[in-house]
Chains A and B, each alone.
Chain A
């Protein structure tokens, strides 16, 4: 026990465990563990045949961390920045390093603005956002949403009611702002 030098006795011996559990102890020797030691020169370079990779073409000014010396030779090209959210993202990358909370908070804020921009844009298309199909909430019916939660001693059930609020809140706020603006304009005209 903790209050004396003796280690608490084991419930099962190594021989018992080896007999009960397939593969017990096959990686007992750290030499058999692929990530031991942490830093180990990889002689095969895992297939790489360059000292420094060729550079991918930069088709638009690619945002990058101020902690990098230069644009990395390879990078993702999904979703170039655009609109207000794009301006916020470019500013966050240009102005603040990864060490600054402002960097991450701005990027999080830009994510919310991006969602708003894209939702509004979708209303002008033949396929507007649909919160019913896109949230997958219909699965509550065929995947036993009620019985999965009731009487299951689940800790997460307490905050599940917040999820629809998170999804709906931006729409409710936006609708409120529209109503308020329309009323304000009408009042001024009178």
Chain B
């Protein structure tokens, strides 16, 4: 089969690989019909995540058709059109039993601090991902769901991570009616978090970024008030000014490990790998939110230490909430929202790239060329 393969920092190519096989009785083999590149894939692509091995296939956002199932699979059959959450989870460990699917304890031998994620380094379990023609899907009875007839493929693939994560991020903000919510980052997760904040009753939604084309999208897609931080000497002071010096009630970090806005932080983290991530957006969130406010962290960070302004968070009495999104827990409600027309996730898709051209896709997304917001990957023969 054809599959994207990591060749070292900033380098990927498409190679011929063996079609995956059933390795556990509850595995399924899925023929991928549509995948996506996630902003967090860029952390792998840039060599930031420890134990990212040359030869791995990335991709944790994908949908497809079931080609084969293991002997104990009862909920799926060959030919089913399925969407697969980015979390790999067993359904019965202490964490899964309580709905923390992203924290499953039975799928990642490499680390206890994170669950299993498709195509996301050995730190997340060493599973190949879906930027390929086929992918092994463990716990086929637990994770995947048959895509409803009425749902578009592009909406379905956005539900496997980006939309669910943005929606989850807004929930972690504990938004109450009329709250001022500031979202750092106008990428896919930030756009969905901003949109979701309205569903939860926000009174004002502000989005901060430095890419004008993404801020324009935040205005039209997410009805948000936007600011480009490069236009202000200090975006935190500006945030105080526009909130009557109170600060926002809720701040959502939808940027994560490669945040810009402070060259030293960015270079030490993203280029020199001396931090788990550049916490510029997180620090701005801490300083922009009001005392007693809530921070929701959706941006991905590596497992190493980062220079976070923890003292400010303490002194302001903030509530810091975060997790990888337990995707499947969000789906029933998100299906309703899509069906009711409140959300149209595929509206943020900007690029549809053949798998054979995935190296260009990564570069375009990474360098933010061609007004790229969300690139989809179309496997050969689809």
CB pair B367–A48 under 8 Å, yes or no, is: no
- Is B78 interfacial (CB-CB < 8 Å)? no
Query: Do A154 and B90 contact each other (CB < 8 Å), given the known contacts A53-B26, A104-B304, A148-B369?
Result: no
Partner of B329, one of A34, A56, A76, A98: A34
- Is A144 interfacial (CB-CB < 8 Å)? yes
CB pair B329–A48 under 8 Å, yes or no, is: no
CB pair B271–A159 under 8 Å, yes or no, is: yes
CB pair B198–A23 under 8 Å, yes or no, is: yes
| Chain A interface, >50% SS class | loop
CB pair A139–B245 under 8 Å, yes or no, is: no
- Is B60 interfacial (CB-CB < 8 Å)? no
- Is A188 interfacial (CB-CB < 8 Å)? no
Q: B124 → chain A, closest Cβ, in Å?
A: 8
- The range of chain B's interface size is 35 or more
CB pair B267–A8 under 8 Å, yes or no, is: no
Complex alpha-carbon distance, A13 and B97, angstroms: 40
Complex alpha-carbon distance, A57 and B25, angstroms: 10
Query: Do A115 and B106 contact each other (CB < 8 Å), given the known contacts A42-B96, A48-B90, A77-B23?
Result: no
Partner of B109, one of A45, A65, A167: A65
Query: Do A1 and B244 contact each other (CB < 8 Å), given the known contacts A63-B110, A98-B303, A107-B50?
Result: yes
CB pair B97–A79 under 8 Å, yes or no, is: no
| Chain B interface, >50% SS class | loop
Hey, what's the 0/1 contact readout for A1-37 against B, CB within 8 Å counting as 1? Answer: 1110001101110100100111111111010111110
CB pair B54–A118 under 8 Å, yes or no, is: yes
Chain B residues with CB under 8 Å of chain A are 7-13, 23-26, 47, 50-57, 72, 74-75, 88-92, 96-101, 105-113, 116, 122-123, 125-128, 138-139, 141-143, 168, 171-172, 174, 177-178, 196, 198-201, 203-204, 210-212, 223, 228-231, 243-247, 260-261, 263, 266-267, 270-271, 273, 290, 302-305, 326, 328-330, 332-333, 337, 340-343, 358-364, 367-372
Chain A residues with CB under 8 Å of chain B are 1-3, 7-8, 10-12, 14, 17, 20-28, 30, 32-36, 38-42, 45-54, 56-57, 62-65, 67-68, 71-79, 85, 89, 93, 98, 101, 104-105, 107-108, 110-112, 114-115, 117-119, 122, 129-131, 133-140, 143-145, 148, 152-156, 158-160, 162-163, 166-167
